[in-house]
A = this chain, B = another copy of it.
Amino acid sequence: VDLVAEVLEGDRRALAKLISLIEDDHPEARAALAALYPHTGQAQIIGITGPPGSGKSTLVNALAKHLRGQSIPVGIVAVDPTSPLTGGALLGDRVRMRDLAGDSGVFIRSMASRGSLGGLARATSDVVKVLDAAGFALVLVETVGAGQSEVEVAQAAHTTVVVEAPGMGDEVQALKAGLMEIADIFVVNKADRPGADAALRALHMVVGRDGASGEACAWRPPILQTVAARGVGVSEVWEAIVAHREHLRAGGHWVEQERERAMAELCDILRRDLLRQLLTRLGEDTFQRWVERIAAREVDVYTAARLIQEES
């Protein structure tokens, strides 16, 4: 519990150690998380997502620098779901480190999936809680990729920023359809490049259309422009983040989000614990025999699942 006290004081080595324990699913991690949990709930969690090449890392970096100018402690979690087999670290970290190194008010951690896909989301959520408890008022969670991971980021964040860039082709336009639904703030980054106007127009059309059918006090996602590499437009992104927080707080959505997040996490943990127990009761050999029977087409997987539950 020494570790917990050190984390609460924001000790960087303690933070790094606890996060490693979380990644290894070490029993000590659960105990520490339980002790830290009452100290959470202060941070605003920001998910940053969007297609590859849109400049998410650069924007995260610029945002962190902007906040450090205001002495706001910032935690950054960079999630890379595309490397499930290596457990390798994320690109761009060296770039980040160069700009933000030596600032004790910034903590940066890359996370890659080490085993199950669900494990990464689980660990990321726990790391965010640790940073929250350690006093980082803002936690930026960046996801590389353009798939299911966005949706998970959105579920774990108070505010989701979707980053685009001009001229990314038709398929990216279509991806937008999925991103539209999770975006609280849109950013067209690299806005000094050709095609920025078209990208902005396309976003305005979709947001405008949705806004028309929404409730009066609904949040209408602002559409911002940045040139993150030069810091242009970054303060406006920060203002939008603050505005969204006020919106969440005023409408009771903040509390509602907390509840939804708690429910999703609880279900996730229960699912995994329950399966582990069933497999222990059943025994490895019996389980493997069922797997063989399914692979041999003697029984289908749904029937097998039913029979296993009746048996155990």
> What residues make up the interface of A, taking CB atoms closer than 8 Å to B?
30, 33-34, 37-38, 40-41, 51-53, 57, 80-86, 88, 91-92, 113, 117, 143-152, 168-172, 174-175, 177-179, 181-182, 255, 258-259, 261-263, 265-267, 269-275, 277-278, 290-292, 294-295, 297, 299-306, 308-309
Contacts and interface: CB of A to CB of B under 8 A. Distances in A.
Contacts of A294: 262, 265-266
A151 B118 CA distance: 12
Contacts of A273: 305-306, 309
Contacts of A80: 178
Nearest to A282: B270
Contact of A291 (B85, B147, B266): B266
A278 B277 CA distance: 13
Given A145-B175, A270-B309, A303-B34, A297 B40 contact: yes
3 A-B pairs closest in CB distance: A82-B178, A147-B147, A145-B147
A290 to B, nearest CB: 7
B297 A38 contact: yes
A146 B52 contact: yes
Number of copies: 2
Given A34-B303, A117-B152, A297-B38, A85 B53 contact: no
Contacts of A91: 170-171, 174
A144 B176 CA distance: 12
Nearest to A51: B52
Contacts of A41: 297
A84 B147 CA distance: 10
15 contacts: A33-B302, A37-B297, A52-B146, A53-B169, A91-B170, A144-B175, A255-B295, A265-B301, A266-B304, A266-B305, A270-B278, A270-B305, A270-B308, A270-B309, A271-B271
